[in-house]
């Protein structure tokens, strides 16, 4: 999944906060859950509009951005 298909940002939705595409769930919420020691399943249970595929693809995208060689 591409970044554009995963993340939506519009001034009309949460004042431009990046959200999971097709939802009003901020991307930051996933990182807050994981940082707090919660499991991915806990996040998905609390935010049912986000699919497992979306959450896993976002984590993969972030991993790739961190681990890719800098130019």
Tell me what pLDDT residue 71 has: 61
Backbone angles phi, psi at 18, to 5 degrees: -60, 130
- Examine the pLDDT at 68 and tell me if it is beyond 70: yes
Q: Which CATH number fits domain 3-66: 3.40.50.620, 3.40.710.10, 1.10.10.10, 1.10.150.120?
A: 1.10.10.10
7 DSSP β-pair partners = 20
- Examine the pLDDT at 25 and tell me if it is beyond 70: yes
DSSP-based three-state secondary structure for 68: coil
* pTM, entire model: 0.87
- Examine the pLDDT at 19 and tell me if it is beyond 80: yes
Q: At what angle do helices 27-35 and 52-67 cross, to 10 degrees?
A: 80
User: What's the mean pLDDT in 36-52?
Assistant: 97
Give the highest mean pLDDT range of 44-48, 62-66, 67-71.
Answer: 44-48
Of the CA atoms within 13 Å of residue 56, those in its CB half-sphere come to: 4
């Amino acid at each position: 999944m591409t970044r554009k298909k995963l993340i939506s940002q519009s001034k009309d939705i949460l004042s431009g906060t990046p959200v999971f595409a097709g939802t009003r769930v901020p991307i930051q919420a996933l990182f807050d859950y994981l940082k707090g020691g919660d499991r991915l399943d806990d996040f998905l249970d609390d935010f049912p509009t986000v699919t497992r595929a979306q959450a896993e693809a976002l984590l993969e995208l972030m991993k790739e951005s961190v681990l890719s060689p800098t130019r």
